[in-house]
Amino acid sequence: MKKRIFVVGNGMVGHHFVEQWQAQAPVGSYELHILAEEPVAAYDRVHLSSYFEHWDAEQLRLGEAELYQHADIHLHLGEGVEALDTEHRTLHTAKGCYEYDVLVLATGSYPFVPPIPGREQAHCHVYRTLQDLDAIAASAQGATSGVVIGGGLLGLEAANALKQLGLQASVVEFAPRLMPVQLDNEAGQVLKDKIEALGVQVWLEKSTTLIESGQEKRLRLNFADGSHLETDLLVFSAGIRPQDALARQAGLALAERGGICINSNCQTSVADVYAIGECASWQGQMFGLVAPGYQMAKTAVAAILGEESAAFTGADMSTKLKLLGVDVGSIGDAHGHTAGARNYRYLDEQNGVYRRLVVSQDGKTLLGAILVGDNSYYDTLLQYALNGLSLPAQPESLILPGTAAAPALGADALPASAVLCSCHNVTKGAVCAAMDEGALSFEAVKSSTRASSGCGGCASLLKSVVEHELEQRGVSVNRNLCAHFNYTRQELFHLVRVEGVRTFAELLEKHGQGGGCEICKPAVASILASCWNEHVQEPSHLPLQDTNDTFMANMQKNGTYSVVPRIPGGEITPKMLIKIGEVGEKYQLYTKITGGQRIDLFGATLDQLPLIWEELIDAGFETGHAYGKSLRTVKSCIGETWCRYGVQDSMGMAIQLENRYKGLRSPHKIKMAVSGCTRECAEAQSKDIGVIATDKGWNLYVCGNGGMRPRHADLFATDLDDATLVRYIDRVLMFYVYTADRLQRTSVWLESLEGGLEYLRQVVIEDSLGLGAELEARMQAVVDSYQCEWKTAVQDPTKRRRFRSYINAEDPRRARLEWVEERGQMIPARDITEERV
């Protein structure tokens, strides 16, 4: 007789149990039933907010539908369990009674709603299921604002969902900082500044005492301190609680703070009853991440089958997230609770980046870390923490930018025991074993080991390990952009151009899969801009942009923005110079002349940006594209017009080049310079495109850059006339746009070209590929389709609405910021007592 296995719950953990069971249990020896309360099969709750991007529940489905069509697996949708009788081994639902031999409780958790009077009103929601999201979307009809109570992980995800629905979003948090469990005070402040810069208002240390009907909005939240906030809809995301009501009714042992008590084999206090996931409590701990739940599911399968398996002994709770487009990472003992722990902190207020290391007292072991604003350090730090790798003599080198002492912890440095995917507990050794058995691509390894199929946070590390191992085996490496496109950036550019693809959705439908990610979305946005030059704030393009492109301004450390009008070649009339001064004085902006011969105006709030640009545009200015991966400046000396050493009109050429290429979007930012003689006052040889005058014409230099890894530009061609110079630059830049990788500088691109500089000369000068005319035509199309993005935005009411101020405040951003006077100008106040690395 077949053994009857019942699983209560079909969330991510319950689904993983089914997958593990089907893969390991002897065929024909069991009958597996899954009782699911929801009307749809298991879906990805980790990426739940992406539902508002594509409105397709199928894109969130977990696994293949064929899993539940197996002869011995029966999925009962919309059939929640109402009672459990462990003595008679029966489960009772509204549709009948079932007898079980083994029971697995995977009931998950439920959203905690604080006992606030008025919480039952219409337009008050929780954020947990697809049905919840549909209800929120229905409430958003006719609404303009939404509030989330709770500033943790789920709360910020919910705030992002409200923004995706077109609402002005606010977050109300009882604690003094966002994400209080994962972040310290400094990290919380950096995150708050970044999120507020995106237009989300954050209310900290607010205790809601009453929810009632609003005067101007549907609802009004009254706070304990006497203040209030009105909104059209409300989402509760104040934490979760284990869904243990069924176990409580059946008399199973529960933990003091809730949750079904389990041992290291995931067994409950009753024989043949197991509990896994968020409903379970192991040694008084409840684990709210998917990775521990998956480990519990695997342990329970092995225990039921009577196989030896590593017992569940807790789990790593490290997380790597992108919340509202902001990188956030937390590893291990992030708060330094371990006795004798030492701390290293790095804070870059200019760019909104914070990093903290927590190391053992002897400085040899990494205990924890916090990252905000830049998760590129996460994978390396996680491996140090998980695998107990010895830290360098100067641990701070791991978080300091550009530190020569910082050791590169690449794929070759990781031991075989290194856990790459904590969701499925996949080690580097397991990945190598899968590759030995024939999995010779990222997707094949992912399919074989399940690595990166949980939260997805390990994708970049897994990809680097796979590529390194392939190279070690002499196999050609797959350089696909990401898991959603089986193409490189160059191949995607070709598809967009040849097929005339105009949107990310169209490209995804034709050549991709899934819903996209933070890698492919901005990369495709750049490709579309390079090809068609449409406005970045068009509805189809806007969700793809990063923060700076979204608001067409560089976000600063205190959440304000900088305004950078274009000043071609640095040439400016007195009248226009006076206008910049007037604008700076009117809006109290900090004013600075940049190294690229432009003027930066700092401290503008989101709602001020259209007003400032309206005045500048009326005065004849254009956007300087300081926020985009595009041409920044063409620096120039004064040239032969004034200088006694000048041999050509460098000023005129710089202005011509800047006006020609000012609309070009590219894989990375581009800087140029033109010097009027070999004295090189414009420093052209440190630029992506450098031009130096000779008595016979112009010398062209290519692919240099400053920054963290300076590179001298290479001499490309000599004594060129004006027309030939422009033709060659057209070809070089467009060939770079055609063939460079995502976020690849021209210097790195040239180094990666097989044949290097000589090959580039053959393509551009000798036209060895027959692309010369096409490259010139594509560049001319960019020139002809140029638009000042800010002029378009201020004249379009729909686009302009994106820069509206916060609700219930006339000028809240500047009013809440602290300013001090320094050298005659207002700058953000800074705490000089803070300790820094």
Question: What b/e readout covers 652-662, taking b as 16+ CB neighbours within 10 angstroms?
Answer: bbbbbbbbbbb
Distance CA 371, CA 374 (A): 7
Distance CA 475, CA 440 (A): 8
- For residue 231, the number of C-alpha atoms closer than 13 Å in the C-beta half-sphere is 29
Distance CA 824, CA 214 (A): 44
Is 583 strand, coil or helix?
Answer: helix
For the chain, the straight-line distance linking the first and the last C-alpha, in angstroms and rounded, comes to 67
CA nearest neighbour of 242 among 106, 83, 104 = 106
For residue 267, the cross-strand partners are: 274
> DSSP letters of 378-389?
HHHHHHHHHHTP
The response to whether 266 counts as a known ligand-binding position is: no
- Joined together, the tokens standing for residue 809 give 């405040």
CA nearest neighbour of 480 among 432, 438, 445, 430 = 445
The H or E element that residue 243 is part of is: none
- For 365, 381, 432, 658, 824, the CA distances from 468, given in Å and listed in that order, are 26, 19, 10, 41, 54
Residue with the two structure tokens 């609309």? 663
Angle at 228 between CA 227 and CA 234, to 5 degrees: 150
Distance CA 347, CA 784 (A): 43
> DSSP letters of 288-346?
-SHHHHHHHHHHHHHHHTT---PPP------EEEEETTEEEEEEESTT--STT-EEEEE
Distance CA 546, CA 141 (A): 26
The response to whether 482 counts as a known ligand-binding position is: no
Q: Is beta strand 554-555 parallel, antiparallel or unpaired with respect to 561-563?
A: antiparallel
Residue 266 near residue 275, CB atoms below 8 Å? yes
Ramachandran angles phi, psi of 812, nearest 5° = -70, -30
Ramachandran angles phi, psi of 512, nearest 5° = -130, -170
Residue with the two structure tokens 């995607």? 492
Q: Is beta strand 689-694 parallel, antiparallel or unpaired with respect to 73-76?
A: unpaired
The response to whether 531 counts as a known ligand-binding position is: no
- For 168, 369, 663, the CA distances from 352, given in Å and listed in that order, are 23, 17, 28
Residue 774 near residue 735, CB atoms below 8 Å? no
The response to whether 637 counts as a known ligand-binding position is: yes
CA nearest neighbour of 192 among 179, 209, 182, 205 = 179
Sheet holding 326-332, edge to edge: 319-323, 326-332, 366-372, 353-359, 342-348
Which residues, other chains included, contact 104 with Cβ-Cβ below 8 Å and sequence gap of 6+? 5, 6, 7, 8, 14, 17, 273, 274, 275, 276, 300, 304
User: Tell me, what DSSP letter sits at residue 649?
Assistant: -
- Joined together, the tokens standing for residue 819 give 């300013």
Known binding-site residues equal: 637, 643, 677, 681
Binding-site sequence positions for [4Fe-4S] cluster: 637, 643, 677, 681
Residue numbers belonging to the annotated binding site for siroheme:
681
